[in-house]
Amino acid sequence: MIFRLWTRKTINREVKAMALNYDENFYKVLLNKLKEDRAFPEPSVTCIGIGGGGCNIVSKLNRNSSSVKTFCLNTDQISNAKRSDVTPVNIGTDYIRDKRDSGGFVKVAKKAFKDDSPEISLKVLKDTELVVIVTTLGGGTGSGGSVQIVKLLKSERIPFHVFAVRPFEFEDGRKEISDEAIEELKRETNDITFYDNNEFDSIKEINQKIKNDVDRFVQHKLAAFEVIYSDGFGLVLSEILNERQLSIDLDVNIGESGESGLIGIK
């Protein structure tokens, strides 16, 4: 049996020596040490606003945890340049002229997001365990970009959930674009929550509703990660302890810099 042990804090030399000498108390001491220091990996949740509307909502999310990163992915470079509340990522800089947006054209946004997929993977998706997408449908960037991001996340096997907003009924052109985007999203995933502008009295009200829902969703997922990392790792050690498996191989570098190492159990 080989599993990876992650530590944010260093494990003292006494504990390391105990492991390397195959001391039978190693498991108990290490487990207690990890619980005391809470030396488990911090989960990483990435919240992405796509297009102007999605970015406006993501910019209002709570930032109580260092585990949560927020990004604004937009084809409108001028709008992005004004944002200081989220990390802006310009999409389609080599494709869209005059630093403006997709002009309401879904195909333009899709191509921009598809062409920039490698950059998005590197700058936004690297080392994340979960992605939350927030988008308002009906415009080119929100409608086309969200579909492409979902495809990218599926290809990289990164868990995600989409929060998407339908436009008002009187927005005929946007409603048609939104309906097409909704059908595309439904074909790609079931991990999506829809909101309808027509069910709220104002944009401010629906934005606040989505903000609250996303905040609760993220906090719930972070709590779940905590259980998996702490209780799950503790369970593994407890099972090993109960079975009295005494042959241990411990990565000699573990604990030196708060990074990861391997433990082999025979």
Mean pLDDT for 232-241 is 47
pTM of the model: 0.70
Q: Which of 58-62, 171-175, 179-183 has the highest average model confidence (pLDDT)?
A: 179-183
Is 141 or 234 the better-scoring residue by pLDDT? 141
Which pLDDT value is given to residue 34? 53
* Residue 195: per-residue pLDDT: 93
- Which pLDDT does position 263 carry in this prediction? 45
Topology annotation, domain 45-222: Rossmann fold (3.40.50)
Confidence band of 229 (pLDDT split at 50, 70, 90): low
Q: Where in the chain are the domains?
A: 2-41+228-265, 45-222
pLDDT confidence bin for 128, thresholds 50/70/90: confident
The reported pLDDT for the residue numbered 209 is 93
Can you tell me the mean pLDDT for 34-38? 54
Instruction: Tell me what pLDDT residue 163 has.
Output: 96
**C-alpha atoms less than 13 angstroms from C-alpha of 144 in its C-beta half-sphere:** 22
More confident residue, 33 or 6: 33
Percent of the chain clearing pLDDT 70 (strictly above):
64
Cα 147 from Cα 224, distance rounded (Å):
27
What was the pLDDT predicted at 176? 83
Examine the pLDDT at 155 and tell me if it is beyond 50: yes
- The interaxial angle of helices 232-243 and 26-37, nearest 10 deg, is 170
